[in-house]
A and B are shown apart, each in its own frame.
Chain A
């Protein structure tokens, strides 16, 4: 009883204070938003003039609005390339430098945010710090730095990023491939060397094979064919897709054994690849997959046969029942859609 009364009073007070805090939070958020809009309204025309090539003298910036200005400039910078971006970066660089101390913040999110903004606004001046951030204790922050460095203007950083690819092992390989592809043709040599090196982690090589596929690098097809020896099915599939995109009949010999691989998605991929680079005598081996236990492999096999011009074989099959017939029927209707 003695303890209950103060408890009730404490809870009531806490409740009222919390409700007041909510209202205060709303008022603060509204004020911040207004302030952001004002900064945006003041800086937007200025930044547009800078991007347009006008000689604009940089106004003094209040410390409390520096972050807002960088956010506004960052939104522009993400959409720009070439000289437009250079002009904007040169203009905001003094302000962007204020972010450097944040790269040493205790909060991983703050370090990541700073790396991202520095990457889009001041990479030309701060690349050394961003490269250092690749070794940040947090893989996420390291990846943000890798993303910042993956730009066509800076292919020289690709090797440094590739050396850390193993740190991003939990991330989707396709996402990392997509990120590395942003560098473009300047990264080809580093990427090819990485894929060719059997001492590199298989997962990293799979990612790189994906990047080379996105970049459609024809010279990497023989390297991909050599990578098919790997025990790692992800690397094998990624290499098969690379061969499918840029390969030729020269790689067919390496691909054929993959039709008997233990893993069904490797068999399925191999069938698709052979439909592009194979010979007429691959038909029987591809058709064998129709009668296996994997619907995915059967389906890819049927579509591969269609691509190889085996319409009659599929039409005969489609009159029956079971997985092979269903796959044949689906493959036959593809061209109707």
Chain B
């Protein structure tokens, strides 16, 4: 028993060292990458070229299910986006509330005939509407089939060379489309681009756009602000540098239409359809020897409201974990195979080992640690030192993410907010991280039970509070 515990403890220590080493490495890569990216943007200005027909037509796909509260404001904000040629395709996914009626009335829409340019299988489409005053606004009204099904219906009826999938409750910065389109213009091999998602709780939102950026007053969304900074500015930038962007957030991402068509659109059986699509694109391109790029860039910003209650957050994290489990299960054939390059050899094994099984290993580690302490295998001093190491390593990674934010985008301009973020980097280690581990663990158990539900999330709009973000797992 003692030997077994000692071996397991040694395994946990190695696991812990590798995991934190990897995080540190990704952060270090991001420190080099972000300033270089900012200089690159400054050195070649393309706004005027894009404006003078140098751009690519883009379709914004906005699935909406019972979004009557927010949909009109959201669409108004999408209509103000600064991009030369874009259409907005809202997909009313069988809402039982007044979503469709409000859209039709607010934008003076009429029924139109519109040819489906692809034939992805979806629930039946009842009708397509077009705005009289805004001819680039369409609503596809269909029977309920879930988010991925709605996105596929949107794809069928959209015409842009680039399609951008996003949530109806997300606010895009006015230049977000132009920024997310840039990698497609800069490199014809680019097939998918992810932008950054930031948390709008605490910020001043006026007329469909985020004005003054502030930290949320409540602790729970504040922890998530830090979590998102770590996930986007350190992790995704780092993975992107390694050529292994595996996640493009469902809240805001853009894809080359031909590739999405070629892989058969979004997977309506998945609750992590955003990550699933990206992994499938990697697989498709490598299977067919297509020279391609999937990339993440940190400057196109989408704002979303984070859950403010533990129960809502638990539902969200549970779903992310189930989505991850589904994706890894479905694409397990890619793991460890050289033909899938860095995604197959490094990224997916990482997601399997540290993101999927992470909560299980972490929990077992804590149990083994407690038993070892009780049995005297580990001294109190040793245990204390190890705990301190865990807390300060976690905190250091968060501080590094804040440093990356300071070095690059500096959205939180108030000095007080900066200090609060640094304080939060320490506080999140006491309770919040443990809770997320438990929620992810539950998600894994639910994944084993083949639970495919999304869970009931509240949607009340930006002017009020509380929301959820359709999003993918990140490191926490």
Contact = CB atoms under 8 A, between A and B. Distances in A.
* Main DSSP-derived SS at the A contact region: helix
Interface string B100-127: 0000000000001111111000000000
Contact of A140 (B44, B55, B403): B44
Nearest to A214: B53
B392 interface: yes
B35 to A, nearest CB: 9
A175 interface: yes
Interface in A109-150: 109-110, 112-113, 115-116, 140, 143-144, 147
Nearest to B422: A19
A170 B43 CA distance: 18
A172 B115 contact: no
Interface stretch (A7-15, A55-63, A153-161, A255-263): A7-15
A249 to B, nearest CB: 26
Interface SS of chain B: helix, strand, loop or mixed? helix
A22 interface: yes
Interface stretch (A37-45, A83-91, A222-230, A326-334): A326-334
Interface residues of A, number: 52
B196 interface: no
Given A5-B385, A112-B40, A147-B44, A329 B113 contact: yes
Given A22-B418, A171-B188, A4 B386 contact: yes
Interface string A290-326: 0000011011000000000000000000000001001
B399 A171 contact: no
Given A5-B385, A8-B385, A21-B403, A172 B410 contact: no
Interface in B25-71: 36, 39-40, 42-46, 49-50, 52-56
B310 interface: no
A129 to B, nearest CB: 16
B451 interface: no
Interface stretch (B179-187, B317-325, B369-377): B179-187
Given A25-B403, A116-B43, A170-B186, A333 B50 contact: no
A22 B399 contact: yes
Interface string A20-35: 0111011001000000
A177 interface: yes
Contacts of B418: 22-23, 26
Contact of A323 (B49, B115, B381, B388): B115
B22 interface: no
List 5 tightest A-B contacts by C-beta distance, closest first: A178-B54, A112-B43, A329-B113, A109-B39, A172-B185
11 contacts: A1-B385, A4-B382, A8-B388, A22-B406, A110-B39, A178-B52, A179-B54, A181-B52, A327-B115, A330-B114, A337-B112
Interface of B: 36, 39-40, 42-46, 49-50, 52-56, 112-118, 130, 132, 135, 184-189, 379, 381-382, 385-386, 388-389, 392-393, 395-396, 399-400, 402-403, 406-407, 410, 415, 418-419, 422, 425
Interface of A: 1, 4-5, 7-8, 11-12, 14-15, 18-19, 21-23, 25-26, 29, 78, 107, 109-110, 112-113, 115-116, 140, 143-144, 147, 169-172, 174-175, 177-179, 181, 214, 295-296, 298-299, 323, 326-327, 329-330, 332-333, 337
